[in-house]
Chain A
Amino acid sequence: MIPQDFHFFEKITAREAVEYYSALFHVRPKVDDLLAQVALSDKAHARFDTLSGGQKQKLGLALALVNDPRICFLDEPTTGLDPHARRAIWEVIRRLREEGRTVFLTTHYLEEAQLLADRVAIIHRGEIIAEGSPGEIIQAHGGPERLVVTGGPPVAEFFRRRAGLAPTVRDGQVEIPIQSKEEGLGYLDDLRSSGIAWTGFTVERDTLEDVFIRLVGRMDDGELKSEAAP
């Protein structure tokens, strides 16, 4: 298990830290392997107080792996890290998963959960409010897919007139809810035939974070209403 904001003895090097933990667990110290596994080999002789936040977390991961655990608990391992360090930690976590270990990852970054997890449990106020694979949760609690076309007001006007759609316009992006990709392709064909200028399109769907915001917002609203009731 490694906690958020991992700390160690300041004047001790990464190599010595792994040797220390190996001695405590009475296992053969596989220092080079472990440091390589968390991409910290080049910092083997650096003292803990000279490591960056991401490197400290990586060392924490290496120490958590000293006794070759089948289950790892990682408590917000990327909190406060820069994007580069965060991606490096993600790589380590993916590797742990590929090695067949079970990783329990707690995080506030839903993007992280969506990228890394096989199964996600969304916890709100101590209760699991949604559970499943990221795709299942999005499917169950997310909104429909959206066709997003980059173009000006004429594009929005075209969709409004053409099929009585109710597109939303945000920062020059026109969004239309669609039930399937085929439906979206049909709209694009019509748009192309109309000769109205547009520059690009994407098909988007809710992320885990969108779902989280929606679920939690819905719960909080419900609670607020029930609190307000006489």
Chain B
Amino acid sequence: MNGRRIAADLKITARGYLRNPVALFFALVFPLILILLFGLIFSGGSGGPVTIYAQNFDHQSPASRAFLSALNNTSAVRVQVVPASVGNLSTYLGQNGYAVGLIVPAGFAANYTHGLPVHVTLFTNPQAASSAGIALGAVQGVANAFNLALACPPARDCQLVSIANENVGSNVYTYIDYLIPGLIGFSILTSPMFSMVDVTSSYRKEGLFRQLSLTPLTRAEWLTSRILWYILLTFLSAAIMLGIGLGLFGAHVTVSLAILPFLVLGPFFFVALGMVAGSAARTPETAAVIGNIITFPMMFLTGTFFPVSEFPPALQLVARVLPLYYVIDGMNQVMLFGNLRAAGIDLAVILVASIVVFVLAIVLFRWRDE
């Protein structure tokens, strides 16, 4: 590896790229349009039902399930049952940026049928006052219905089911908060993938690689210069996203140096993957098809436009086999949840994947056809 040659190639790559309006549009302007568009559409808050993340510690009983089912049947809220295995619900809500949670305690049905008081605990976040109000109203309504079902005589206090309201002490995230890491990820994916697939196949067809093979530039140096260029582009794109997100939409994301590894390894991975896809195809047309097959699922299923946690469970599993998921999830962990441990795991996954794909790219990529 020779730094001087890498620098020379980086310079020529940058010049060529900056003079190509189409490439620049897709690298920098298109994600900008997306953040403005999605940010404006969703900045008024979601009009859908409030999601309540519920833990049912009395899950064997029909009464507790009827309680959650009645809650789910209100049009105001949607109940998402969370297994007890996730641990403390308040922490879980905080880590995932969820605003509302509910605990149905063990012995709910027994107490209720024996006329003993029972408290369900509702976690709400003061920062999300409207969601909190809607959730409280819905839970209160269902509790009242349960209390009335006892046919209580007026003289007696029949408020068996009551609500203990606790605050979730974490930030609640709005759509724009998820959109920033999502669209940085989108940029990390699309810009190198589309370009590298095209470049790798068309340079080979035009004999440009054959010409480069007659210079001292090595394949690894050429690939490294491309990787460096897309890392620079990613930094620029991320800065634009953060500027728009924070400045225009008042996003609540943490800008931390801990996102840097993702801004480096993300482009690293996708430049190498683009090169593998471009090398695997015989013609630029086939390369474009292969590139699209790889790119499109990741474009939509890895949390670019919507948080993966909102996906149906099956799609969440699909997301986890797609490399971009780990880039976006890692940035979410850093920028939204401050969970560096989880981010570290994501980083490890993408690091290993990057090394594998880089080696594969060097092995598959030839300056000239055999």
The interface of chain A, by Cβ under 8 A from chain B, is 1-3, 5-12, 16, 20-21, 23-26, 47, 63
Contacts and interface: CB of A to CB of B under 8 A. Distances in A.
Looking at chain B, what size class is its interface with the partner chain?
20 to 34
14 contacts: A1-B214, A7-B208, A7-B211, A8-B211, A12-B15, A16-B12, A23-B4, A23-B8, A24-B8, A24-B9, A24-B215, A25-B216, A26-B4, A47-B19
B210 interface: yes
A168 to B, nearest CB: 46
Contacts of A2: 211
In the A-B complex, the 5 residue pairs with the smallest Cβ-Cβ separation, listed nearest first, are: A23-B8, A11-B19, A7-B206, A24-B215, A11-B16
A20 B12 contact: yes
Interface in B1-55: 4-5, 7-9, 11-12, 15-16, 19-20
A74 to B, nearest CB: 13
Nearest to B12: A20
A5 B16 contact: no
A25 B215 contact: yes
Contacts of A7: 206-208, 211
Contacts of A5: 207
A47 B214 CA distance: 22
B217 interface: yes
Interface of B: 4-5, 7-9, 11-12, 15-16, 19-20, 206-208, 210-211, 214-217
A23 B216 CA distance: 10
A12 B12 contact: yes
Given A7-B206, A23-B4, A16 B15 contact: yes
Contacts of A9: 12, 16, 208
A1 B212 CA distance: 11
A172 B216 CA distance: 60
B209 to A, nearest CB: 10
Contacts of B7: 23
B5 A23 contact: yes
Nearest to B13: A9
A54 B326 CA distance: 50
B174 to A, nearest CB: 41
Contacts of A47: 19
A21 B15 CA distance: 15
A7 B7 CA distance: 22
B229 to A, nearest CB: 13
A3 B211 contact: yes
A25 B206 CA distance: 22
Contacts of A6: 211
Given A12-B15, A12-B16, A47-B19, 12 more contacts: A1-B214, A7-B206, A9-B208, A11-B16, A16-B12, A16-B15, A20-B12, A23-B7, A23-B11, A24-B216, A24-B217, A63-B211
A31 to B, nearest CB: 14
A20 B11 contact: yes
